[in-house]
């Protein structure tokens, strides 16, 4: 069952292909740009699993398909990996028609997208996400970046791919911990935008945890549809798109505070959603039973619901460099009634209380 979606961005519109067996189907790749050279970028974990299949599929589109394997992990989402990418492109004489393919999770996707935005001021790229998190979130919408030691995703660009290819079969090899991390971004869409979807996730959390084919297909499809709708309205995050950052302000502080790669991004977002809900409740935006409901679901998805004890001062320091902050004031995505989100500030003392209450 293949179900394509479209993200509507004028001349930068593109298809999000979702289904089983997509890598091996000629129709998946039809209509993508052709060129003499292509660079297929993956990492040391994903390349041995899927790079041969992708390279075979790309043969009709390019005379030469070059390959690059980056080191695996969030800790490598940095200048050094980007430099390796540029070194390869230049050493191999790649020109501005060269197409980049990002095969992997959000780390590879974000880095390859940023390299594509910069190389010769912009070359085409295609996202082939292989984690649940990347299929439901990071591959869609054109946010690309690397981390800086002082902040998550601080150096980057908005740059849209030409297509997103979500082959659900690739998810079968994903470790359980990464699976739960991906579920955090699936759950995120419910409280901010779609209560019916939140109800569905609650009813189907056991099926999702055992990776039931139909449940997974629906979760990926609905998540991408919500994201495409939001990004279609606000590509560069002038306002609405910020709601997709629910749980991320606290989450990014956890990731940076512990050192990138200690907690997975999805784990930090899961716990961050608990903290943001608690803050919403203390600001009387949402009732406590909703916070408890969401916390239960996040726990059932195998995610941490208590933050690490970094201390309120450290959390606040990391959150002040969040991209939503304005003039030093931290802004949070909060739940403004079930199914609705709002972006606003809160007093440091209240935020500190929430951190103390939510950390183990
Ligand atoms: P990841 O890319 O590190 O992948 C997780 C792990 O799974 C890695 O070890 C990877 O090698 C492995 N893996 C990937 N696919 C596999 C497969 N099919 N089988 C077995 N192993 C596989 O992490 P992620 O969770 O995919 O992405 C997290 C990143 O995405 C973070 O850097 C985050 O900032 C970013 N992100 C970006 C956006 C965006 O809009 N651009 C949105 C959300 C998250
Ligand atoms: N993951 C947040 C966004 O794409 O805006």
Q: What pLDDT, in 10s, does the model give residues 228-253? A: 999 999 999 999 999 999 999 999 99
- Do 311 and 164 share a structural domain? no
Task: Please state the separation of Cα 105 from the chain's center in Å.
Answer: 8
Neighbours of 97 (CB within 10 A): 15
Residue closest by Cα to atom 26 of ligand 1: 105
Q: Which residues contact 203 (CB under 8 A, 6 or more apart)?
A: none
**Residue in the block written with tokens 């600001």:** 283
Question: Distance from the CA of 60 to the center of ligand 2, in angstroms?
Answer: 33
Question: Distance from the CA of 233 to the center of ligand 2, in angstroms?
Answer: 13
Burial of 343 (0-12, 13-18, 19+ CB in 10 A): middle
How far, in Å, CA of 341 to CA of 193, rounded?
7
Question: Distance from the CA of 260 to the center of ligand 1, in angstroms?
Answer: 13
Q: pLDDT, tens digit, for every residue of 21-65?
A: 999 999 999 999 999 999 999 999 999 999 999 999 999 999 999
Q: pLDDT, tens digit, for every residue of 143-165?
A: 999 999 888 899 999 999 999 99
Among all ligands shown, which has an atom nearest to the Cα of 42?
1
Q: pLDDT, tens digit, for every residue of 276-311?
A: 999 999 999 999 999 999 999 999 999 999 999 999
- Do 297 and 167 share a structural domain? no
Q: Which residues contact 38 (CB under 8 A, 6 or more apart)?
A: 58, 61, 62, 64, 65, 66, 98, 99, 100, 101
CATH for 90: 3.40.50.1970
The boundaries of the domain holding residue 63 are 3-173
- Do 26 and 55 share a structural domain? yes
**Residue in the block written with tokens 């899927």:** 50
Task: Please state the separation of Cα 156 from the chain's center in Å.
Answer: 14
62 is catalytic: no
Question: Distance from the CA of 47 to the center of ligand 1, in angstroms?
Answer: 14
Check pLDDT > 80 for residue 2. no
CA distances (Å), origin 217, targets 127, 136, 166, 318: 18, 10, 10, 36
Burial of 87 (0-12, 13-18, 19+ CB in 10 A): exposed
pLDDT for the residue numbered 3: 63
Contact 5, 15 (CB under 8 A): yes
Burial of 76 (0-12, 13-18, 19+ CB in 10 A): buried
- The closest-lying atom of ligand 2 relative to the alpha carbon of residue 185 is 1
Confidence of residue 326 (pLDDT cuts 50, 70, 90): confident
Overall average pLDDT of the 87-114 stretch: 98
Burial of 301 (0-12, 13-18, 19+ CB in 10 A): buried
End position of a domain, from candidates 173, 192, 210: 173
- Do 313 and 238 share a structural domain? yes
278 is catalytic: no
Question: Distance from the CA of 276 to the center of ligand 1, in angstroms?
Answer: 23
End position of a domain, from candidates 173, 189, 208: 173
148 is catalytic: no
pTM above 0.85, yes or no: yes
Among all ligands shown, which has an atom nearest to the Cα of 181?
1
How far, in Å, CA of 303 to CA of 40, rounded?
32
From the candidates 62, 221, 252, 318, give the one annotated as an active-site residue: 252
- The closest-lying atom of ligand 1 relative to the alpha carbon of residue 43 is 11
- Do 187 and 126 share a structural domain? no
Check pLDDT > 90 for residue 215. yes
pLDDT for the residue numbered 39: 98
How far, in Å, CA of 28 to CA of 324, rounded?
36
From the candidates 62, 153, 245, 255, give the one annotated as an active-site residue: 245
How far, in Å, CA of 127 to CA of 40, rounded?
10
pLDDT for the residue numbered 75: 92
172 is catalytic: no
- Do 336 and 202 share a structural domain? yes
- Do 181 and 112 share a structural domain? no
Whether the CB of 266 sits within 6 Å of ligand 2: no
- Do 249 and 163 share a structural domain? no
End position of a domain, from candidates 152, 173, 194: 173
Counted domains in the chain: 2
How far, in Å, CA of 197 to CA of 84, rounded?
41
Contact 80, 54 (CB under 8 A): no
């Amino acid at each position: 069952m293949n179900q394509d979606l479209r993200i509507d961005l004028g001349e930068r519109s593109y298809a999000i292909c979702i289904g089983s067996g997509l890598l091996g189907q000629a129709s998946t790749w039809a209509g993508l740009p052709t060129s003499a050279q292509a660079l297929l970028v993956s990492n040391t974990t994903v390349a041995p699993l899927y790079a041969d299949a992708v390279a075979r599929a790309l043969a009709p589109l390019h005379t030469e398909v070059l390959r690059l394997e980056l080191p695996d992990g969030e800790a490598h989402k940095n200048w050094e990996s980007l430099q390796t990418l540029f070194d390869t492109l230049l050493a191999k004489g790649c020109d501005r028609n060269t197409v980049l393919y990002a095969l992997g999770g959000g780390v590879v996707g974000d880095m390859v997208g940023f390299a594509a935005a910069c190389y010769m001021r912009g070359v085409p790229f295609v996202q082939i996400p292989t984690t649940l998190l990347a299929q439901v979130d990071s591959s869609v919408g054109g946010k690309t970046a690397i981390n800086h030691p002082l902040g998550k995703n601080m150096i980057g660009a908005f740059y849209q791919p030409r297509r997103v290819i979500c082959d659900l079969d690739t998810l079968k090899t994903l470790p359980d911990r990464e699976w739960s991390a991906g579920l955090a971004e699936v759950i995120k869409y419910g409280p901010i935008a779609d209560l019916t979807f939140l109800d569905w996730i609650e009813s189907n959390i056991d099926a999702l945890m055992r990776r039931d084919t139909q449940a997974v297909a629906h979760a990926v499809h609905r998540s991408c549809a919500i994201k495409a709708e939001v990004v279609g309205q606000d590509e560069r995050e002038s306002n609405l798109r910020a709601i997709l950052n629910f749980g991320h302000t606290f989450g990014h502080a956890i990731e940076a505070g512990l050192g990138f790669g200690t907690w997975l991004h999805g784990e930090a977002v899961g716990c961050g959603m608990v903290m943001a809900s608690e803050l919403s409740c203390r600001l009387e935006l949402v009732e406590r039973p909703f916070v408890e409901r969401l916390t239960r679901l996040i726990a059932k998805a195998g995610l941490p619901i208590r933050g690490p004890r970094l201390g309120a001062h450290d959390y606040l320091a990391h959150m002040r460099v969040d991209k939503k902050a304005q003039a030093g004031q931290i802004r949070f995505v909060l739940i403004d009634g079930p199914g609705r989100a709002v972006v606003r500030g809160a007093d440091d003392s209240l935020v500190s209380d929430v951190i103390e209450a939510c950390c183990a």
